[in-house]
Structure 1
């Protein structure tokens, strides 16, 4: 399993209009039409990168642009339908604010459960919603947290700094999202069934060690205009099969940028896609 992440400055998306239009031009008419429905350009820009990520991955695997096809499961999870693709590829896309990410796996690293495969990813920016406090924020989703998760976020016995509490919350939330997205489920899955003990980096599902699952967390910085830096956390989840047993507890790995986690500037990424997907 690997992750590609693409970053851009949301406040300066208008400066990327030229590269957006040229990137849009290399997509099929249906994709262009779907992206054209977005009212806000920033949503279309994220959507464009989300379309280009799996296409560039397929191109790097030697697949001709004319052969690339995609489908959706009944719950809306995208997957590759390119005929004769060998080895198979499973992927998942996520985005939040100025970050778009794709987790993918292929070949021997991919458990054979097509069409969409059980791989998921989620990212979120470390920020509180406007006009909210951390306690109020946590309380709005309290019914989706376990007692342990609430304790490690809001503890009277061992109070923690708000930034660390916020980081813990978004790690918990992105892991829950990544797991359910890997399952290919729509709305309705009870997040309280998933428990992430962030200080110990240990996961339980329905109170038990999840068989055959691998989780990896990461943290990325997005340099924006005015010397501002945004911090994002994310989790990728992948099912490896019941025969893969965790050694004791299911531990979430901490991955750094590098071969496993590649980070691209959005403008440079789109230019690369234009060059290779024409």
Structure 2
């Protein structure tokens, strides 16, 4: 599995508005129409970057822009519909605030064509203004299991958890649930409380059973802006044909950034796409 991350400053549209307008010519009319309907321009730019990521992936496989085709499942999950791509490619897109990311994998071991069972989610670690962590958590309590809730709000008899660690754990749990349901292609059609992420044991259970046919990778994305650094937590989920036999093989894997995770500036990425796809 590989991940590509594009970052930008959503608060400075003058940095990306012009390249966004030029980049629109690289996508099909339906995609341009969809992007034009966003109220906020930053959402449109995120959408354009997300549309260009799989196109650049296909370009690396030697597919010209006019031969690229994409489809959506009945539930709306996008997939590559280009003819003759061998071995097949699975991809999934996510975005939050100033980050757009794509997870992709290729090979005959992929499960669930045509969109395949691969999903990714990335979220910025932050607490809404004027809100305590306990009040923030209340909005999600029904989608958390008792184990997850205890890991976020220990009982009074247990050591208190620093706010930074509590927020990190919450977003890790939530992105895990999002990545899994996106991999299934079900979105809101799967109750999140059926998914349990034990942050201490680094295991994932679905309806109480270890997710033996799934591989989960978690990672952090630092995003530096004007002297400050935002941190995003991400999870990618992929299903394999063979189930893990040992419980140790079911553990969530943490990976440091490396060759498997590419990070670059989103404006520079669109400029490169304009050069290579035009």
Using the size of structure 2 for normalisation, the TM-score is 0.96
Moved more, 51-60 or 99-108: 99-108
Q: How does 1:75-86 map to 2 (within 5 A)?
A: 75-86=75-86
Q: How far 1:112 moved relative to its partner?
A: 4.0
Give 2:65's aligned residue.
65
Deviations 1:68-94 (A, max 9, x none): 000111111000100121111111100
Q: Secondary structure at the match of 2:51?
A: helix
Give 1:217's aligned residue.
218
Give 2:171's aligned residue.
170
Say whether the 8 Å CA contact 2:89–2:104 is kept in structure 1.
yes
Q: What is the alpha-carbon distance in structure 1 between the residues aligned to residue 189 and residue 243 of structure 2? A: 28
Q: Secondary structure at the match of 1:10?
A: coil
Q: How does 1:104-143 map to 2 (within 5 A)?
A: 104-108=104-108, 110-143=109-142
Q: Does 1:99 align with 2:99?
A: yes
Q: Secondary structure at the match of 1:158?
A: coil
Unaligned runs of 5+ in 2: none
Q: How far 1:43 moved relative to its partner?
A: 0.5
Structure 2 CA distance for partners of 1:112 and 1:152, relative to 1, 3 Å: closer
Moved more, 166-175 or 20-29: 20-29
Give 1:237's aligned residue.
237
Q: What is the alpha-carbon distance in structure 2 between the residues aligned to residue 188 and residue 71 of structure 1? A: 20
Using the size of structure 1 for normalisation, the TM-score is 0.96
The runs of at least 4 aligned residues of structure 1 exceeding 2 Å deviation read: none
Give 2:228's aligned residue.
228
Give 1:271's aligned residue.
271
Deviations 1:181-238 (A, max 9, x none): 101113131111111111331111111111210000000111112x121110010000
Say whether the 8 Å CA contact 1:255–1:261 is kept in structure 2.
no
Q: How far 1:246 moved relative to its partner?
A: 4.6
Give 1:44's aligned residue.
44
Q: What is the alpha-carbon distance in structure 1 between the residues aligned to residue 56 and residue 47 of structure 2? A: 14
Deviations 1:127-181 (A, max 9, x none): 0123321111111110111111011101131211101100000000000000011
Q: How far 1:10 moved relative to its partner?
A: 1.2
Unaligned runs of 5+ in 1: none
Q: What is the alpha-carbon distance in structure 1 between the residues aligned to residue 38 and residue 165 of structure 2? A: 34
